[in-house]
Amino acid sequence: EIEVVRIGQRLVRDDRVTTHVALVSRAFGAKKIFMTEINPEIKDTLRKINETWGGNFSVEFIEKWKPIIKKKKEENFKIIHLSMYGEKINDAQEKIRKEKKLLVVVGAEKVPREIYEMADYNIGIGSQPHSEISALAILLDRIQEGQQFEKEFPDAKRKIIPTKVGKNVQVKETRD
């Protein structure tokens, strides 16, 4: 069970990046994202994606990051904070794969120091600065070793049948 929290709010809102963090969370097998960047459109976008492509990924807006991290710790989630300063993913992946419940924390701008201390793991996807979208995707892939792509998204209206050439989409009949 994997959930994600994105913290931080830029002055110039970074809606596309935030939406992409949510889309990657959903597509790479997380169940839920908490975010401090309150933009109702993101909820709407993800609701429509669920309707069309299935599953019940959820988005929850939160005011502060700390209470959710505390709550999840009480629920026995382990906290993984993604940071370029953290432990190498190549060294940490075996032990984090063994965890049953994970809350992944991704930042936007500079993250508060306290997060480094509250986290059970600070993990670097390489030690170069890049993007929360790519860091999250690679972490989720390393944890699940590709198995996230074998999962079905239930109640989808459309389902892609992977093909070598062209597009093959199964459309579910609806009675209305």
Q: How far is the CB of 125 from ligand SAM (least distance, A)?
A: 4
Question: Interface residues with ligand SAM (CB under 6 A)?
Answer: 82-84, 106-108, 110-111, 124-126, 128-132, 135
CB nearer to ligand SAM: give 84 or 118: 84
Listed residue (156, 135, 171, 117) closest to 17, CA to CA: 135
55 vs 136 by CB, closer to ligand SAM: 136
Could you give the CA distance from residue 102 to residue 12 in angstroms, rounded to a whole number?
30
Compute the least distance from the CB of residue 155 to ligand SAM, in Å. 32
62: helix, strand or coil: coil
Residue 165 beta carbon to ligand SAM: minimum distance, rounded to whole angstroms: 36
Minimum CB distance to ligand SAM smaller for 29 or for 124: 124
CB-count burial class (<10 Å; 0-12, 13-18, 19+) for 113: exposed
Which residue's Cβ has the minimum distance to ligand SAM?
Answer: 107
Taking CA atoms, 126 is separated from 5, 120, 153, 171, in Å, by 20, 19, 31, 40
Closer residue to ligand SAM, CB minimum distance, 48 or 130: 130
